[in-house]
DNA sequence: CCTTCATCTATCCTATAGGATATTTGGCAC
DNA sequence: GTGCCAAATATCCTATAGGATAGATGAAGG
């Protein structure tokens, strides 16, 4: 008796999750880190055996993943890792980002006061991990998958904070759809870590614009950043 | 024997669908037409009994619906019809539409030549059904659910064509997320049919801008249209 | 009369089983 | 050796069963 009951501390944060959700996280993580060749079959039974669960929750997790665009489904044939983004689709992705993130930046500027300190924090982390990457590279070591993963997470966090700053649940939802595609693109396109310095500078310009309080200036800085990322990605594709 | 086999005619269009997909369509239709009170429980077993299928495909269809925002899920508690859009969320929805549809209109202007005839067709249908609505109202008859449904479909078709005109799969995906929410909003907000004349005029202005070929003008016309719809929706909410 | 606790029912969640479909393997004919 | 067909295997898809959890009902105590 007399079990220690932790009262309300963060009770709202504790949201119960079924097995389905955990399988979803695991498969998502698997798709993000281990770069599977596009078109690889994702056998439901095989995944179920691997994770020691029944096919049912796996099936549901894959239905959910299908809506993110990371996997494709053909009825009665199964799921596959989504094909890589063709050059045309890469352009479309950046067009969509220009629309979405440009607009989101304008809206987020309404709450700039709350947003600026968060972006400062995110940028500081970005600077820090860039330094780490450079040091590792200078020592001639190969960048560990974990480090690359962390770098991408921190880089995207800056963009994510801006979406969150709009306080618009619909835009935040859409940002997640974009997010998965951007992460996937970075697996195929080599770049992403090599342009760390430029990314930091451009993020800094966006932050500065937020400090200024002009939504138009901030949106312009964001659009400029995305266009530059697009250019760097184009060069990478061309050189591969 | 000797079954009549229809050869290749439109074979590409015939895409095989599992039971899961049919259940999805049925539940989606049910959510769109029969206006269920928000918060209504969607029992998996009950739906399965209704449709004479096992719970498994129903469960998968609901997972898919969850991503559209039409239903909400609480682990171990089940699915419910999504709560109605609060005033705040209504504003957020229009903000998101301004960003998305404004941007999409700019991009669609690149392919204006192909788009204009389609929009002309859509607008003609819009005019036609508006006339029908007016006649029905003039006779003092109550508007049938089918007529209202058709009106909404035709109205939204104009917006959908513009998304399709971007030829951007990512934006088209996002438009579907918006579409379900807009349809749902129209169930709660009374307006939508009453402003038929204004909608036709504003759509006409967008079409005219596309004919002119200026992407900025077209985007401005679209944003103006959405802002006006927002205003009309606000008035409706206030008067209820 | 109201609160509290136990029991009971309904529902969700996961696991297992079997039929249906796709894919692969092996063999045969050319 | 190459192309085609058939059987075997693997996989997907739906159905059913049982354990687990949430909500409801009813009784006991204050």
A180 and A224 within one domain? yes
pLDDT at B236: 84
Nearest to A60 among B63, B92, B170 (CB): B63
- Segment among A62-76, A92-106, A119-133, B9-23 with least mean pLDDT: B9-23
Q: How many domains does chain A have?
A: 2
CA distance B71 to chain A (A): 14
B119 and B44 within one domain? no
Which residue reads 């950046």 in tokens? A94
- Segment among B1-15, B74-88, B140-154 with least mean pLDDT: B1-15
Cβ-based neighbour number of residue B225 at 10 Å: 22
CA–CA distance, A72 with A63 (Å, rounded to integer)? 9
Residue ranges making up the domain that contains A56: 19-81
Interchain contact A44–B (C-beta under 8 A): no
Does position A7 have pLDDT exceeding 80, yes or no? Answer: no
Does position B211 have pLDDT exceeding 50, yes or no? Answer: yes
pLDDT (mean) for A151-180? 96
Assigned domain for A7 exists? no
- pLDDT confidence tier of residue B9, bands split at 50, 70 and 90: very low
What ipTM score was computed for the predicted complex, to two decimals? 0.88
Residue window 47-86, chain A: list those with CB within 8 Å of chain B. Answer: 56, 59-60, 63-64, 66-67, 69, 75-76
Does position A9 have pLDDT exceeding 80, yes or no? Answer: no
H or E, element range at B71: strand B71-74
Query: Could you tell me the two tokens for A62?
Result: 């894959």
CA–CA distance, A30 with A59 (Å, rounded to integer)? 16
Assigned domain for A119 exists? yes
Q: How do residues A187-235 score in pLDDT, each as one tens digit? A: 777 666 788 999 999 999 999 999 999 999 999 999 999 999 999 999 8
CATH of the domain at A46: 1.10.10.10
φ/ψ of B139, rounded to 5, equals: -80, 0
B219 and B146 within one domain? yes
A129 and A60 within one domain? no
B119 and B38 within one domain? no
**Any idea what DSSP says for residue B189?**
S
pLDDT at B14: 53
Nucleotide nearest to B45 (CA to C1'): C11
Domain boundary among A63, A81, A99: A81
A97 and A56 within one domain? no
Q: State whether B102 and A103 contact (CB < 8 Å).
A: yes
CA–CA distance, B166 with B19 (Å, rounded to integer)? 32
Domain boundary among A61, A81, A101: A81
Nearest to A107 among B63, B95, B168 (CB): B95
Q: How do residues A27-51 score in pLDDT, each as one tens digit? A: 999 998 877 889 999 999 999 999 9
pLDDT at B192: 63
Nearest to A95 among B69, B99, B168 (CB): B168
Greater model confidence, B11 or A95: A95
A159 and A109 within one domain? yes
Report the candidate in A25, A233, A18, A111 with the shortest Cα–Cα distance to residue B78. A18
Strand, helix or coil for residue A79: strand
Residues of chain B with C-beta less than 8 angstroms from the C-beta of A59: 60
To the nearest whole number, what is the mean pLDDT of chain A?
90
CA–CA distance, A203 with A235 (Å, rounded to integer)? 21
Q: How far is the CA of A71 from the C1' of C24 (A)?
A: 24
Strand, helix or coil for residue B78: strand
B110 and B27 within one domain? no
Q: Which nucleotides of C are covered by protein (CB under 7 A)?
A: 10-17, 21-23
CA–CA distance, A125 with A119 (Å, rounded to integer)? 10
Q: Is B167 left (phi over 0), alpha (psi -120 to 50) or beta?
A: left
pLDDT (mean) for A136-149? 89
Q: State whether A178 and B170 contact (CB < 8 Å).
A: yes
CA distance B133 to chain A (A): 32
CA–CA distance, A10 with A197 (Å, rounded to integer)? 38
CA–CA distance, A107 with B24 (Å, rounded to integer)? 34
Q: Which residue of B has its CA nearest to A24?
A: B63
Which residue reads 């061309």 in tokens? A238
**Could you tell me what percent of chain A has a pLDDT over 90?**
74
CATH of the domain at A108: 1.20.120.530
B146 and B123 within one domain? yes
- What is the sign, positive or negative, of the torsion defined by CA atoms of A188, A190, A193, A198? negative
Q: State whether A171 and B99 contact (CB < 8 Å).
A: yes
Domain boundary among A81, A96, A123: A81
Assigned domain for B10 exists? no
- Name, in order, each residue with C-beta under 8 angstroms of B228's C-beta and a sequence gap of 6 or more: B198, B202
Q: How do residues B63-78 score in pLDDT, each as one tens digit? A: 999 999 999 999 999 9
Strand, helix or coil for residue B2: coil
**Could you tell me what percent of chain A has a pLDDT over 70?**
92
CA–CA distance, B104 with A92 (Å, rounded to integer)? 11
Query: Could you tell me the two tokens for B121?
Result: 């067709």
| Test the A interface: residue of B25, B96, B165, B185 with most A CBs within 10 Å | B96
Q: How do residues A54-95 score in pLDDT, each as one tens digit? A: 999 999 999 999 999 999 999 999 999 998 888 999 999 999
Query: Could you tell me the two tokens for B192?
Result: 């939508």
Terminal C-alpha separation, chain B: 63
Residues of chain A with C-beta less than 8 angstroms from the C-beta of B95: 107, 166, 168, 171
B91 and B76 within one domain? no
Nucleotide nearest to A49 (CA to C1'): C15
B77 and B150 within one domain? no
pLDDT (mean) for B116-126? 98
For chain A, list the strands marked E by DSSP.
41-42, 71-74, 78-81
Nearest to A174 among B56, B92, B177 (CB): B177
To the nearest whole number, what is the mean pLDDT of chain B?
90
DSSP H helices, chain A, are 19-32, 44-51, 55-66, 87-108, 112-138, 145-166, 169-188, 196-212, 215-239
CA–CA distance, B172 with B75 (Å, rounded to integer)? 30
B213 and B133 within one domain? yes
Question: Near strand D (CB < 7 A), which residues?
Answer: A 16, 41-46, 55-56, 59, 73, 75-79; B 18-20, 53-57, 60, 76-77
Q: State whether A177 and B178 contact (CB < 8 Å).
A: no
Q: Which residue of A has its CA nearest to B55?
A: A56
């Amino acid at each position: 008796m007399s079990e220690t009951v932790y009262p309300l501390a963060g009770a709202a944060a504790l949201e119960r999750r079924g097995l389905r959700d955990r399988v979803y996280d695991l498969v998502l993580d698997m798709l993000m880190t281990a770069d599977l060749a596009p078109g690889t079959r994702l056998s439901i039974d095989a995944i179920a055996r691997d994770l020691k669960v029944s096919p049912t929750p796996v099936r549901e997790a894959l239905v959910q993943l299908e809506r993110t665009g990371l996997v494709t489904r053909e009825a009665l044939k199964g799921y596959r890792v989504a094909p890589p983004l063709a050059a045309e689709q890469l352009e479309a992705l950046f067009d969509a980002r220009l629309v979405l993130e440009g607009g989101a930046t304008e809206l987020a500027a309404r709450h700039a006061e709350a947003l600026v300190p968060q972006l400062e924090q995110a940028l500081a982390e970005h600077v820090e991990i860039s330094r780490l990457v450079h040091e590792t590279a200078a020592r001639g070591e190969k960048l560990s998958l974990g480090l690359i993963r962390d770098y991408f997470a921190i880089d995207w966090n800056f963009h994510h904070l801006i979406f969150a700053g709009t306080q618009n649940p619909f835009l935040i939802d859409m940002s997640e759809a974009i997010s998965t595609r951007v992460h996937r693109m970075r697996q195929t396109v080599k770049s992403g870590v090599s342009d760390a310095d430029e990314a930091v500078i451009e993020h800094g310009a966006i932050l500065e614009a937020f400090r200024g309080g002009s939504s138009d200036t901030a949106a312009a800085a964001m659009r400029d950043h995305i266009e530059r990322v697009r250019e760097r990605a184009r060069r990478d594709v061309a050189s591969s």
